[in-house]
Amino acid sequence: MKNDRQAKILEIIERESIDTQEQLQQRLQEMGITCTQATISRDIKQLHLIKEPVGQGRYRYTVSSQRTRLNVADKLRTIFKVSLQPERQAKMFCMMPYLMDNSKFLASEIRSIFTEVVPLFMEPIIREGIADGPIRTDHPKELAESMLMLSDVWINPIIQPTTPDEICARCAVYNRLFGAFGIDGLIDQEIVDALMDYAEMTQRLHKGGEEPV
């Protein structure tokens, strides 16, 4: 899936000095992810990757955020934003009116959190934040699990009927909860706005049987 591939790209460029699309494509293939260079080119654009000089005429891909490395909150926020891509939401909309009524699909989503997203993407970033100083916890795996369960189940308006006001309130509580661990402003206004749009869309679908756009 697109969000998994883009999360892997962020992981690769953080861990290695990658300076060509061909190298990035090869690393993804080694991880079992097959894609074309055209796909990688689109991913690079969507993730705002740039080439940064590393000396001796060499360059490496990095995320363009004032031309510095992403901090922990930025990395986590990027993963959240990727998860809101229309392709993934369209798949979830197919299970409407609400995923709470589709136990098989909901179980699959929750299983993915514990077996894929947390160990492969979230927990490594949390551990990095602990090592670098900003995140304060002795339980990185459990912190990552709680972050994903709350964001993907409790806050997600496609799971259960949720008004835009409830989305705002839950996002505010979420930021207060995880701010206590040193992760400040994880859900920014862009994410809140996207979630509110989905909440309004799901309400229209539930009431009128409209097709998602």
Residue 44 maps to a domain: yes
Domain boundary among 27, 44, 63: 63
What is the per-residue pLDDT for 16?
A: 85
Whether 101 and 125 map to the same domain: the answer is yes
Residue 24 maps to a domain: yes
User: Rounded mean pLDDT of 176-198?
Assistant: 89
Whether 184 and 106 map to the same domain: the answer is yes
Whether 97 and 155 map to the same domain: the answer is yes
Residue 172 has pLDDT above 80, yes or no: yes
**CATH at residue 25:** 1.10.10.10
pLDDT band at 152 (very low <50, low <70, confident <90, very high): confident
Whether 99 and 192 map to the same domain: the answer is yes
**Residue 184, both tokens:** 């400040």
What is the per-residue pLDDT for 19?
A: 85
**Residue 183, both tokens:** 């992760």
Residue 198 has pLDDT above 90, yes or no: no
Range of the domain at 35: 2-63
Whether 102 and 14 map to the same domain: the answer is no
pLDDT digits (tens, 9 = 90+) for 3-27: 778 888 888 888 888 888 899 899 9
Number of domains in the chain: 2
pLDDT band at 98 (very low <50, low <70, confident <90, very high): low
Whether 136 and 165 map to the same domain: the answer is yes
Residue 213 maps to a domain: no
Whether 58 and 87 map to the same domain: the answer is no
User: Rounded mean pLDDT of 35-57?
Assistant: 81
pTM of the model: 0.62
Residue 71 has pLDDT above 80, yes or no: no
| Per-residue burial over 105-122, b = 16 or more CB atoms within 10 Å of its CB, e = otherwise | ebeebeeebeeebbeebb
Residue 34 maps to a domain: yes
Whether 195 and 96 map to the same domain: the answer is yes
Residue 69 has pLDDT above 50, yes or no: no
What is the per-residue pLDDT for 211?
A: 46
Q: Is 181 exposed, middle or buried (0-12, 13-18, 19+ CB in 10 A)?
A: buried
Whether 103 and 200 map to the same domain: the answer is yes
pLDDT band at 139 (very low <50, low <70, confident <90, very high): very high
